[in-house]
Amino acid sequence: MTRFTMLSGIAHDPIQRDIFTPLYLGAALYIPTAADIGTPGQLAQWMRTHQVTVTHLTPAMGQLLTAAMSMHGAGATANGGSANQEITSLCNSFFVGDILTKRDVLRLQHLAPNCAVINMYGTTETQRAVSYLRIPPRSADPEWINEQKDVMPAGQGMVDVQLLVINKTGQMCGVGEVGELYVRSSGLAEGYLGLLDATAAKFFVTNPFAAPAAKAEPTPKIPFYHGARDRMYRTGDLGRYRPDGLVECSGRADDQVKLRGFRIELGEIDMYLSQHPRVRENVTLVRRDKDEEQTLVSYIVLTDAHHEGSQHDRGHLRYAVPRDFDDLCASLREFLRHKLPAYAVPAVVCPLRKLPLTPNGKVDKHALPFPDTSLLYGESAAAASSATADEDDFGAAYATLRALWADLLGVPERRLRPDAHFFDMGGHSILATRLTLRVGSDLGVADAPLALVF
């Protein structure tokens, strides 16, 4: 019997696929407990126990599933198992909700060698998925994935769906030319309720919310539009056609990003951050940390950047770290928490003397790599002496935990105090999973739940 899982959150739209697909097919549906999901390594064991054959995942959930293997090597788990810990029953894994990387696929297929990975692309305004790419199982074609780029393509359109790449002149892009992705389908939303301008900007369709007398067929300069039901939606995503006809995504046309399944408006973060009394200039980007995980980083220029603190040059960047850097970071995060959801609060703050500019006077975002944390957190004799006192007070277990935090977060041990908050120091859900795995292996704490970190 085909065995599906229900792993999506109840408020996340893939829950519909989790529930109704197996019911429609007459398959079995298995629902894990919170402990099965929240304890690193346990979700894979749960799948093995129930011989799961089909699962729907986000890339972040896939990383949670494979976290034990990535910490202990391919084919190993947190409990020291080897290849016999593979999920051999898993045949199909569907991914949606964020960018899927080659590394994500390789990790999953090491854990489940018979599993085909299906990467799907879609937005809230469209049907649940509008395109797909099937990646063959490692056991069937081990070389296919090695020939791909680091980011998996969005693939080809579903039945009765076209994924179009259109340039700024309104024409179809050629192979390799970057343009905006449009979805052509009858299965689109009717628009944004009560938001006429937003609907007109994104949907090429008769506006269902306009007054009856005002209803009129829009005439966009797109040669593929043929009437009210030949409908298209502008996704705001950038992409290109590959020579094989598949579509690959290459970013956003605006400042919206997707981080661990959440849509985030970078411009909104910058708008609120600029309201802080100590911030003169700022720009927020998604950058990859030392473990290649995506992280929100805010680069700021303080109102007093030229008058206090330490100065360091590092390539294009000139760091300006104030003496009260820890207090500043805490103040900025507390300020943003009152205005933004927790997932949109930057994990890393990088103070600079000035923001690098292009010859046209715009912020040169390409000159802003992931910050050098060794410079940001600096040499502090006071912090070092405080850390020594902390070790004396709390013993060897505290010293081990602090070393784990320092390694995972990329910060000096001297900066970590007993009252430090993991997420205020740049942590996120994937790092939290790795932390619980390391706690289990380094401190001998069996099945440490992820909830401990939160």
Q: Quick: pLDDT tens for 388-437.
A: 455 556 677 778 888 887 777 776 676 677 777 777 666 777 777 777 87
Closest Cα to residue 302, out of 286, 283, 322, 275? 322
Tell me the DSSP string of 359-426. Answer: TTSSB-GGG--S--HHHHH---HHHHHHHHHHHHHHHHHHHHHHHHHHHHHT--GGG--TT--TTTTT
Burial class for 292, CB neighbours closer than 10 Å (0-12, 13-18, 19+): exposed
Most confident of 44-48, 67-71, 330-334: 44-48
Q: What's the rounded mean pLDDT across residues 15-28?
A: 92
- Supply 328's token pair: 């500043």
Q: What mean pLDDT is reported for the chain? A: 78
Closest Cα to residue 310, out of 331, 330, 324, 299? 324
Query: What is residue 382's predicted lDDT score, i.e. its pLDDT?
Result: 41
Q: At what angle do helices 381-409 and 429-443 cross, to 10 degrees?
A: 100
| CATH of segment(s) 3-152 | 3.40.50.12780
- Asked if 100 contacts 132 with a C-beta cutoff of 8 angstroms, the reply is no
Closest Cα to residue 69, out of 83, 88, 51, 48? 83
Q: Which CATH class is domain 381-452?
A: mainly alpha
- Asked if 155 contacts 131 with a C-beta cutoff of 8 angstroms, the reply is yes
- Supply 200's token pair: 């007109």
Closest Cα to residue 1, out of 55, 51, 57? 51
How is the chain split into domains, by residue range? 3-152, 162-253, 257-377, 381-452
- Asked if 100 contacts 109 with a C-beta cutoff of 8 angstroms, the reply is no
Query: What is residue 109's predicted lDDT score, i.e. its pLDDT?
Result: 92
pLDDT > 70: percent of the chain: 75
3-state helix, strand, coil in the chain (%, to 5): 30, 25, 45
Q: What's the rounded mean pLDDT across residues 49-66?
A: 87
| CATH of segment(s) 162-253 | 2.30.38.10
The superfamily (CATH) of domain 257-377 is ANL, C-terminal domain (3.30.300.30)
- Asked if 4 contacts 55 with a C-beta cutoff of 8 angstroms, the reply is yes
> Does position 20 have pLDDT exceeding 70, yes or no?
yes
User: String of b and e for 329-354 (b: at least 16 CB within 10 Å)?
Assistant: beebbebbeeebeeebbbbbbbbbbe
Query: What is residue 397's predicted lDDT score, i.e. its pLDDT?
Result: 77
Query: What is residue 309's predicted lDDT score, i.e. its pLDDT?
Result: 46
Indicate the pLDDT class of residue 363, thresholds 50, 70 and 90: confident
Query: What is residue 254's predicted lDDT score, i.e. its pLDDT?
Result: 67
Diameter of the chain by CA atoms?
78
> Does position 44 have pLDDT exceeding 50, yes or no?
yes
| pLDDT-wise least confident of 92-101, 284-293, 368-377 | 368-377
* pTM score: 0.64
- Asked if 101 contacts 70 with a C-beta cutoff of 8 angstroms, the reply is no
pLDDT > 90: percent of the chain: 21
Domain 257-377 and domain 381-452 have a common topology: no
Indicate the pLDDT class of residue 269, thresholds 50, 70 and 90: confident
Query: What is residue 209's predicted lDDT score, i.e. its pLDDT?
Result: 47
Please tell me the distance from the alpha carbon of residue 6 to that of residue 32, in angstroms, as a whole number.
7
Query: What is residue 12's predicted lDDT score, i.e. its pLDDT?
Result: 74
Q: What's the rounded mean pLDDT across residues 313-334?
A: 76
